[in-house]
Amino acid sequence: MYQTIARGTAPPIMPRQIEEVARHIGRASSAGNRRRRAMTFARTLVLLPCMASLGWMAPCHGAGFQISSTSGAGLGNAFAGGAAAAEDASTLWSNAAGIAELKLTSTQIVLAGHLIAPSLKFRDEGSSPAANQPLGGTGGDAGQTALVPNLYVVHPIRGTAWSVGLGVNTPWGLGTKYDAGWIGRFQAQESEIKTININPTVGWKPAEALALGLGLNIQSIDAKLISQVNYSGALLNAAAQGGIAPGSANFNAIAAATPGLQSRARITGDDRGLGWNAGLLWKLDAQGLSRLGLSYRSGISYHIKGKVRFGNPDLGGAPGSVAALANAVNAAALFDSPAHTDVKLPAVANVSYFRTMGAWDIMADAQWTRWSNIQALSFVRDSGAALQSTALHFRNSWRLSAGANHRLNDTWTLRGGLAYDQTPVRAELRTIRLPDADRIWLTAGAQYRLNNKRTRIDVGAAYIHVKNAAVQTSGSPPSVTANGLVKGRYSAHSIIASAQMTHEF
């Protein structure tokens, strides 16, 4: 029924109908009914599309919303063997023990930048519009290009088996931005997540064959989420809850007077959290040609505090009945307030192998991410009123990679790598904020050593193919009336270009 109205088949609004609606609203606001009507309007929360769109994960170049670009040199090998390579100060991230294995005589600094260009496109395969709204377009390319920097510094404590270091990087984040007026605007319009991780680290080498490391992670997160609100649908739902029968002349008069009305929901929030990481690096032979690395990074819990803000349309000049409905909806559901959510970013464990054979290095890596920490995402006003809860039921995932280096001479080294990156997202619960799927990485890179041998330049590139991802969702809780039905398929890929300078003072 709402779909017929949305396609413009409602009868034209008449003055007599407006008067009848106004009288009905007046009766609904009488002393005897006011409290019941207020509670009824409050229950419209469950149908408001903005609440279905407050999930905050955003697709990026790693499975889930993980940013794997933590080293410009490592990108060339698809980050294979990262916990065992101990090639430069960026080992601080992949394995804290590696900083004790670098054999530095003075401070080493690594500066790296990664240009990440994701592409995310939706193909419609039978979507349906929300009530009293046009269907809209397919959203264009929702991928958002970003520059991700890394900084690592390691200093050996002379005369001891100890080294200290500091890393600054971005382990989680990126975002999406769909074109205005797209099909899924009532579930997601724009998403942006930024994290910064500061990682002081200490490494110790108690024996020639063994190195250990421990680090502290001081991490911050900032989130911005934007979606449209089906304001017309909210008004119609409020009218129906107020006793105006759908399909009646009064109901259709309201629909004809309010087609295509939208509000805008914007939620922002931030928090700070603490975690830790530890690692072990073990030489498997006397020459140190083969190494095994183990690394673990703890999960970090956040209590993200922020605000939800609404940009409701101005209906001050609308007929009295419509204005009364709008005032009730705004007061009961679409009002600005503080809001918060709790989330724990996942723990990550790595086991890596590295072996030197003449002019070649071969390496392999298995990474496990504990995504099962994230089973649902719930936003709550500070008053305790629920905004929405989205079931996610993420599953733990694996990332498997292999790579090789070939030293052409004392100046040039070539790199290559391949990786399989498993998504934590269950296909039946895929959302348009995170239409994620399994990925394949193809990478290549090169290193150039300057004449002073204390400075190295690395460049790398990656092409990441993402498996096509089917999606069929009407938000959470499900409501085609409020949110529309987004049904179709996503195609996605990412291109990464990295550059890194390593210098020992």
> Is the pLDDT assigned to residue 42 strictly greater than 70?
no
C-alpha closest to that of 226 among 67, 49, 60? 49
Per-residue pLDDT averaged across 29-46, rounded?
39
Instruction: Output the pLDDT for position 378.
Output: 85
pLDDT at 63: 67
How much is the average pLDDT of 78-91?
A: 96
User: Would you list the domain boundaries of the chain?
Assistant: 2-504
316 pLDDT higher than 90: no
Please give the radius of gyration of the chain, using alpha carbons only, rounded to the nearest integer: 27
Token pair for 167: 């890393």
pLDDT at 114: 95
3-class secondary structure, 37: helix
pLDDT in tens, 195-229: 999 999 999 999 999 999 999 999 999 999 899 99
pLDDT band at 64 (very low <50, low <70, confident <90, very high): low
Reduced to 3 states (helix: H, G, I; strand: E, B; else coil), residue 17 is helix
Band of the pLDDT at 16, cuts 50, 70, 90? very low
Minimum mean pLDDT among 61-75, 316-330, 363-377: which range?
61-75
Instruction: Using a pLDDT cut of 90, give the percent of the chain over it.
Output: 72
The pLDDT value recorded for residue 212 is 98
Flag whether pLDDT at 49 surpasses 50: no
Task: Look up residue 143 and give its two tokens.
Answer: 């991928």
pLDDT computed for residue 158 by the predictor: 93
Tell me what pLDDT residue 387 has: 83
Listed residue (485, 484, 482) closest to 238, CA to CA = 482
3-state secondary structure 51-86: HHCCCCCCCCCCCCCECCCCCHHHHCCCCCCHHHHC
pLDDT at residue 398, as a whole number: 96
Query: pLDDT of 453-484, one tens digit each?
Result: 899 999 999 999 999 999 999 988 889 999 99
What's the pLDDT tens digit per position in 249-273? 989 999 999 999 999 999 999 999 9
pLDDT score, position 453: 80
Structure tokens at 20: 């009848």
pLDDT at 54: 36
pLDDT (0 to 100) of residue 358: 94
This prediction has a pTM of 0.86
Q: What span, in angstroms and rounded, lies between the C-alpha atoms of 349 and 324?
A: 56
DSSP 170-237: --BEEEEEPPTTBTTTTT-SEEEEEEEEEEEEEEEEEETTEEEEEEEEEEEEEEEEEEEEEHHHHHHH
Our CA angle for 273, 434, 117, nearest 5°, is 90
pLDDT value of position 318: 81
Q: pLDDT tier at 62 (50, 70, 90 boundaries)?
A: low
Cβ proximity of 94 and 297 under 8 Å: no
Domain 2-504 fold is Porin (2.40.160)
Average pLDDT estimate for 4-17? 35
Q: pLDDT grade, residue 69 (50/70/90)?
A: confident
Contacts of 433 (CB under 8 A, 6+ apart): 53, 55, 56, 57, 58, 59, 176, 187, 188, 191
User: DSSP letter string over 111-166?
Assistant: EEEEEEEEEEEEEESS-BPPTTS---B---B-B--EEEEEEEEEEE-TTSSEEEEE
- Positive or negative CA dihedral for 99, 103, 107, 108? negative
- The secondary structure of 379-432, three-state, reads EEECCCCEEEEEECCCCCEEEEEEEEEEECCCCEEEEEEEEEECCCCCHHHCCC
Average pLDDT, the chain: 87
Q: Report the percent of the chain where pLDDT is more than 70.
A: 87
